[in-house]
A and B are shown apart, each in its own frame.
Chain A
Amino acid sequence: MTTLKRKTHPRTVGRFATALIAAAVMGASAQAVAQDDDPIKVGILHSLSGTMAISETVLKDTVEMLIEQQNEAGGLLGRQLEAVVVDPASNWPLFAERARELLAQHEVDVVFGNWTSVSRKAVLPVFEELNGLLFYPVQYEGEESSENVFYTGAAPNQQAIPAVEYLINEVGIERFALVGTDYVYPRTTNRILEAFLKDEHGIAEEDIMVNYTPFGHSDWQNIVSEIRRFGEEGKPTAVISTINGDANVPFYTELSNQGIDAADIPVIAFSVGEQELTGIDTGPLVGHLAAWNYFMSVDTDDNYDFIDAWIDYTGDEDAVTNDPMEAHYIGFNMWAEAVRKAGTTDVDAVKDAIIGVTVPNLTGGYAAMMPNHHITKPVLIGEIQDNGQFDIVWQTPSTVAGDAWSDYLPGSRDLIADWRAPMRCGNFNVVNGSCGGSTAAEEAEAALAE
């Protein structure tokens, strides 16, 4: 608006006023014309080098593809979109630096980025300080709600909890091995799951085995053989795997080498998707499970269109799509919708406009942005097939709203997040009726650390 004012000649003031009224009447689209023609800048904060590049590079490409599609469809508010790509190189402190660069130097209107929780924690203060928008597309451990972050991946109640209920109710599992990589996501998730199994389903202590391994663990012989023995005690046993990224390939190879069949001991994974399976011969893994909110094998036209667009964009006939890609698809469309609704890319306006925005997901339903900055998602359980895809064997009857604070952890159970006008709080304590500020979150974390 400022540029327009400078150009305005006194005699045109009247016309300008008319235009303003017209804009107010015609709403968002007319207002868009009045804005400057500079492209809208979309920041992409995904590692293109280092250990996480394996997972994050495709997400960068996804956002770029979505931007391209949006531009072909005429852009947003009559303006074109422009991607600003930076490489935080799988280096957590560098994430914060790059985020600052995106917000302060490039002045991007929105950022899509991050994979690991530790990198998200690193950029959080930057986004809060500079008032940016971050769309985070990966399933995570919960226990967080920031005014500036939108969590389009699954919270534990949208992945882990329904998956365990599926195992107990549909498969009849009575014994659980919780196996994970040694960092914050598996530890928090397993803590929630342990509490959930013991309190809600009365599973005994000796029927739960917990095991953590370092990042990139490659020698699984002993652990797999331990799991095999754990499963031979007479009760139906399942493995809940929060093993991260690279370590999965040798884990699954060892499972098949030691002849652990999904029919005997099914493994349900929360971090293994189509992408991770591209490095493995899935023949011996048929029947092992994964819980996600999207699978490439979803049989909807929206999904096939997305896959075809992705294959055309990458030029690779064998390119696969996965859950975090769908999360970006949803997040991008939600943001675009909120910008249209607000008629501006202004961060505060978009933040208010986006709550309640509903866009189609790729699984034939709709995703809505909740006041706690999490979205509604269906939960799907898939079984691995011999072609590296998942066959969906179960799904929740309706979508599940993401829960920022787990109901199964002491301290966290009393907190809710609501970023709408009167409350505007990410950790409101319903017991003492106050917005906890940082202390409640710290208490929850302290409770976690115990």
Chain B
Amino acid sequence: MRRFLSLGLLCLLLFSVTVTAQAQTSATVEADDAAALELLEALDVRSYPAKGEAIIAILQSDDERARDWLQSLLDGRLQRTDDGRFVVVLENRGRDWPVADALTGEPLGDMSRRDLDRIGINNALRNQLRSAIAVVDLYSPDVERRRTSATRLLGEVDEELAAPLSELIAEEEDAQVKRRLTQALAIYQVESGELEGVETLRGSLHPRVRVALNRAANGDDPIIADAANEALISIEQNLKINRGLETLYFGLSLGSVLVLAAIGLAITFGVMGVINMAHGELIMLGAYTTWAMQQLLPGQPGLALILSIPAGFMVAALAGVAIERSVIQFLKGRPLETLLATFGISLILQQLVRTGISPLNRTVITPEWMSGSLVVNDALSLTLNRMYVLGFALVVFAGLMLIMRRTRLGLEVRAVTQNRAMARSMGIRATRVDIMTFALGSGVAGLAGVALSQLTNVGPNLGQNYIIDSFMVVVFGGVGNLWGTLVAGLSLGVINQVLEPWAGAVLAKIIVLVFIILFIQKRPRGLFPQKGRAAEG
């Protein structure tokens, strides 16, 4: 594949040096269509290697549509109609697809997928196409394209590409592109046995650099192998630090999910003492609200997500109030019956969603600004969606602390939980406080659902997966203590992620559970036990 690539590049370079200077004559434009059709026809063969050759031919042609063709071939949108015309599919969902002519670019209306045959590609061809497009893009005036293209070429450089590449490096103005191209060239140098390359690569954390050095370290040339090994050792040390940071981030992010899921429970269970097994389903309602919002606002997933925050809160809060009024208030002081009744409610809610909406998972779109990752360096990148969730969890926590500490509602809640009879005699309407507290806890569960819709499946089973973890966090943190929930959630997350690579996901979960059981034996009231008279109540 690399041979093809460099052939293409070589021709392109010749072309860019000799042809671009001259004005294109009109005769070539007319001759173009016949030639272009021929180029595309060569793609419509069964054998993948033959398609590879056809791609080179397109790359070598001086047709200015070449990049578009390659791109639509890469996207699987270059297709052929039954009568032999080449078209580009503009939208490939549903039964009929809008198409445009591949040669002229003019739209041809909708066509049935039965009449279209796609020009299939496989991973190898996809690789080749990406590299081919990268080679074209090296000359692009767009810096972003050049950057992607340069990164793409790491480990893809060979003999014929090396010489023109060094010229390009000399001319390049953007520092990032320059550095990448230098590394790409250095990888080639290492492969061809030049010690100099190893020096250039020293310290780079990019995976492809490591792959190249690893290969060199296992290679035949002892001098290169020693140098590569040495470079690898320093890279490894650097990587270790990055890996530690990464694990910490993973742990905090898992922890933030646990905190979000548990913090609503910390209020209903921790503060009010209600064992609400339907808590998970309240989370699920929040997630479905996000989905519904995105259905209401098609094409604006970001806005829908932001609007889902209040909407999810309200939906879950109302559902919580309904549960409290219809069931829980009649079972006050009978925890076993509350547990069973709310478990029943959780099953009912799940099945309602299953029959009412669908048993299948719903697609919740992640907005553009939340997908991808923040690249710290070549070895450490932090996934954006999890970073947002981490931030969101902290904001929700801060908000809840404010409500509990600084508002009248919070004061009343604390009063009622500490001594119900006394609070009532002071004129606090305990029933109203119960409703409000439950609504608050449920609403926060809804918020958790909105956040979780960005991380996991939105389906009827969403809640079930979090209910056990939520109780675990609340009990570990200390019932009735919001700070405890925060610390417990984050630390359980980190412990889990530290254990996981070492023990495996299943064993890590078991170890954490055993640890909590032992911990509870020693300190039955959790990390941060409630002090004073409230603790006895």
Contacts and interface: CB of A to CB of B under 8 A. Distances in A.
A383 B456 contact: no
Contact of A281 (B366, B372, B456): B366
B123 A54 contact: no
A258 B383 contact: yes
Interface in B358-391: 359-363, 365-366, 371-373, 381, 383-386
Contacts of B71: none
Interface string B327-359: 000000000000000000000001100100001
A254 B359 CA distance: 24
A250 B114 contact: no
Contacts of B117: 299
Nearest to A262: B123
A333 interface: no
Interface string A40-61: 0000000011010110010000
B94 A318 contact: yes
A279 B366 contact: no
A315 interface: no
A234 interface: yes
Contacts of A317: 94-95
A318 B93 contact: yes
A171 B124 contact: yes
B360 A54 contact: yes
A49 B351 contact: yes
A250 B456 CA distance: 5
A299 B114 CA distance: 8
A222 B120 contact: no
A434 interface: no
Given A232-B210, A263-B126, A257 B457 contact: no
Interface string A209-245: 0011110111101110110100111100000000000
B385 A257 contact: yes
A226 B457 contact: no
A150 B460 CA distance: 31
A222 B507 CA distance: 14
A219 B254 contact: yes
A393 interface: yes
A217 B465 CA distance: 8
B457 A246 contact: yes
B124 A218 contact: no
A218 B455 contact: yes
Given A262-B126, A279-B363, A317-B94, 10 more contacts: A212-B504, A278-B360, A281-B366, A287-B126, A318-B94, A383-B122, A385-B92, A386-B76, A387-B92, A391-B120
12 contacts: A48-B354, A182-B506, A222-B497, A225-B250, A228-B207, A232-B214, A234-B211, A234-B214, A256-B371, A279-B363, A318-B94, A391-B120
Interface of A: 48-49, 51, 53-54, 57, 171, 182, 211-214, 216-219, 221-223, 225-226, 228, 231-234, 246, 249-250, 253-254, 256-259, 262-264, 266, 275, 278-281, 286-287, 289, 299, 301, 304, 308, 311, 317-318, 383, 385-387, 391-394
Interface of B: 75-76, 92-95, 114, 117-118, 120-124, 126-127, 130, 207, 210-211, 214-215, 218, 246-247, 250, 253-254, 257, 350-351, 354, 359-363, 365-366, 371-373, 381, 383-386, 455-461, 464-465, 496-497, 500-501, 504-506, 509
